């Protein structure tokens, strides 16, 4: 049965780390900030992709990097900074947003959450448990992903969040397809809702018409990251992918709507 996170029909536009327009960036707004999430929502995005770390005092925050160097010129790790100080640092950069705040402040949004820090997995699971119908949990690490799903279940989630596999599972899936082991492909796709992958990894092409076909045959969607060029959006949609993870959610929404297909 299709997870409610993936209803209604594709294709979907997933706002990568929210949406930071050129004008917002010129005023200091950064990715994964409260303002970036709000801007994605205002642009009409139904999905926001973000990453989860945990502060020194145990609060799950939306942040991509494990330190503040790129965003704030501060070399400290997120895990070593307390919440109140993160809030101060982010105050003139669009505002810090915790996972709890994101889920509460934007009840109409669906969140695609990448568990970046091992210490965040349990907290992510517990926080999303009441919102499982509008959350997808993923991670490069299948262990972190599965820990978050288990925490959601332990916290009383009425259903598990949607999920996309980690890197190791994707590698095994590609190997099984290359060896034409259809049963193994089906087993690896079982229990998944989406494959969220880059189009290429170095010289290796990951997203092909065959991969899309196999995923769809097992009720699994294919979402491609990070797609910013107009031509790439068109080509991938023509290939049949179900979702575009993009820094240009406003442009992608216009493109999807122009094609006459729903953008949610």
Give per-residue pLDDT as tens, 63-83.
999 999 999 999 999 999 999
| C-alpha distance from residue 233 to each of 11, 129, 182 (Å) | 11, 33, 29
Q: Which two tokens stand for residue 183?
A: 């049963």
Q: Which residues contact 182 (CB under 8 A, 6 or more apart)?
A: none
Whole-number Å distance between alpha carbons of 103 and 99: 6
**Positions of E strands within the chain:** 12-16, 47-54, 60-62, 110-115, 135-138, 162-163, 194-198, 200-201, 204-205, 221-225, 243-246
The reported pLDDT for the residue numbered 261 is: 53
Say what the pTM is.
0.95
Residue 62 pLDDT class (50, 70, 90 cuts): very high
Give per-residue pLDDT as tens, 106-154.
999 999 999 999 999 999 999 999 999 999 999 999 999 999 999 999 9
């Amino acid at each position: 049965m299709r997870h409610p996170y993936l209803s209604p029909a594709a294709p979907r536009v997933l706002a990568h780390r929210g949406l930071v327009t050129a004008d917002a960036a010129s005023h200091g707004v950064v990715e994964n900030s409260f303002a970036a999430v709000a801007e994605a929502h205002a642009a009409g995005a139904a999905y926001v992709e973000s990453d989860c770390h945990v502060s020194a005092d145990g609060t799950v925050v939306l942040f991509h990097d494990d330190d503040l160097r790129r965003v704030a010129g501060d070399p400290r790790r997120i895990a070593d900074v307390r919440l109140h100080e993160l809030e101060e640092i982010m105050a003139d950069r669009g505002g810090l947003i915790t996972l709890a705040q994101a889920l509460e402040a934007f009840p109409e949004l669906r969140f695609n959450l990448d568990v970046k820090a091992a210490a965040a997995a349990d907290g992510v699971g517990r926080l999303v448990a009441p919102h499982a119908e509008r959350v997808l949990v993923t991670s490069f690490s299948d262990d972190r992903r599965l820990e978050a799903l288990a925490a959601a279940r332990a916290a009383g989630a009425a259903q598990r969040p949607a999920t996309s596999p980690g890197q190791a599972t994707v590698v095994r899936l590609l190997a099984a397809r290359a060896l034409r082991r259809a049963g193994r492909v089906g087993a690896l796709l079982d229990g998944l809702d989406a494959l969220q992958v880059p189009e290429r990894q170095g010289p290796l092409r990951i997203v092909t018409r065959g991969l899309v076909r196999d995923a769809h045959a097992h009720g699994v969607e294919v979402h491609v990251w990070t797609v910013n060029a107009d031509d790439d959006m068109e080509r991938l949609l023509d290939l049949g992918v179900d979702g575009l993870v993009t820094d240009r959610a406003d442009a992608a929404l216009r493109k999807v709507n122009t094609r006459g297909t729903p953008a949610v």
